[in-house]
């Protein structure tokens, strides 16, 4: 069965990430710590992929060739960073 997604406002999504990053789980059970790190990693990856999609959108919606070139360079740089982070 394919996992389902939910939609939440972007501001709330970003607030959740910031809120969870402040939690100190060092005193908790190692299993809970592992789950916490998995959740934080998944949220960071989702945020980064959303940012990458936005970078691509900037290419498509650029007003002129100079802006399109600049947006493309930004997208490619962002894409390389994400690939290094998650591969």
Q: Where are the domains of the chain?
A: 10-86
d(CA 7, CA 86): 23
Give 1's pLDDT tier (boundaries 50, 70, 90). Answer: confident
If phi > 0 it is left, if psi is from -120 to 50 it is alpha, else beta; for residue 10 that is alpha
Average pLDDT for residues 11-36, to the nearest whole number?
95
Query: Residue 53 burial by CB count (10 A; 0-12/13-18/19+): exposed, middle or buried?
Result: exposed
Q: What per-residue confidence (pLDDT) applies to 86?
A: 86
Q: Which pLDDT does position 87 carry in this prediction?
A: 77
For range 20-34, the mean pLDDT:
95
Write down the pTM of the prediction.
Answer: 0.83
Q: What is the reported pLDDT for 9?
A: 96
What's the average model confidence in pLDDT over 50-69? 95
């Amino acid at each position: 069965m394919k996992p389902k997604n939910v939609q939440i406002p972007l501001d709330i999504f970003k607030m959740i990430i910031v809120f969870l990053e402040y939690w100190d789980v060092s005193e908790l059970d190692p299993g809970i710590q592992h789950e916490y790190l998995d959740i934080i990693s998944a949220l960071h990856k989702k945020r980064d992929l959303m940012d990458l999609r936005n970078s691509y959108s900037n290419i498509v919606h650029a007003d002129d060739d100079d802006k399109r070139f600049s947006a493309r360079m930004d997208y490619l740089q962002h894409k390389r960073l994400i690939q290094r982070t998650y591969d």
